[in-house]
């Protein structure tokens, strides 16, 4: 039993030393202006401003129609609420599907 405890303690000491070493290397890298994160995380952080919200591409009226759909209204109710024809509502829904499905199908590399 004593031997296991000793081995476990050695492992804990080695682990603490390796974590200290990693922390020290990370601090040195950061001080030299080098990335501390993995390359993939660093690339994401640098490029995150390039991703845009899919809803930002919608026109004002399309967004209003989408909001009414989210509220559970039917086409006829939406047309009355927004003072447009039911056909116009259908056109907006068609545009919404086309635009949002296109955006959802696109995945950044």
Total number of domains in the chain: 2
**Are 67 and 95 within one domain?**
yes
The pLDDT mean for the chain works out to 78
**Are 69 and 98 within one domain?**
yes
Which is more confidently placed, 19 or 46? 46
pLDDT reported for residue 14: 56
For 47, other C-beta atoms within 10 Å of its C-beta total: 11
Cα-Cα-Cα-Cα torsion 14, 18, 24, 29, nearest 10 degrees, comes to 170
Mean pLDDT of the region 65-87 = 94
**Are 58 and 44 within one domain?**
no
* Nearest-angstrom CA–CA distance, 81 and 79: 6
Nearest alpha-carbon partner for 79 in 68, 70, 63: 68
12-16, 21-25, 100-104: which is most confident: 21-25
Instruction: Give the model's confidence band at 16: pLDDT under 50 very low, under 70 low, under 90 confident, else very high.
Output: low
**Are 58 and 98 within one domain?**
yes
**Are 45 and 59 within one domain?**
no
**Are 43 and 62 within one domain?**
no
Percentage of the chain modeled with pLDDT above 90: 34
Mean pLDDT of the region 29-39 = 79
**DSSP-derived secondary structure for 40-109:** HHHHHHHHGGG---GGGGS-HHHHHHHHHHHTT--HHHHHHHHT--HHHHHHHHHHHHHHHHHHHH----
Whether the model clears a pTM of 0.85, i.e. scores above it, the answer is: no
- Host domain of residue 27: 2-49
């Amino acid at each position: 039993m004593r031997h296991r405890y000793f081995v476990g303690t050695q492992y804990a000491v080695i682990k603490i030393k390796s974590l200290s070493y990693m922390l020290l290397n990370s601090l040195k890298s950061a001080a030299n202006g080098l990335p501390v994160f993995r390359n993939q995380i660093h690339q994401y952080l640098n490029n995150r401003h390039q991703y845009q919200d899919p809803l930002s591409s919608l026109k004002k009226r399309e967004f209003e129609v989408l909001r009414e759909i989210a509220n559970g209204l039917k086409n006829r109710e939406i047309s009355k609420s927004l003072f447009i024809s039911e056909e116009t509502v259908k056109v907006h829904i068609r545009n919404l599907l086309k635009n949002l499905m296109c955006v959802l199908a696109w995945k950044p590399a």
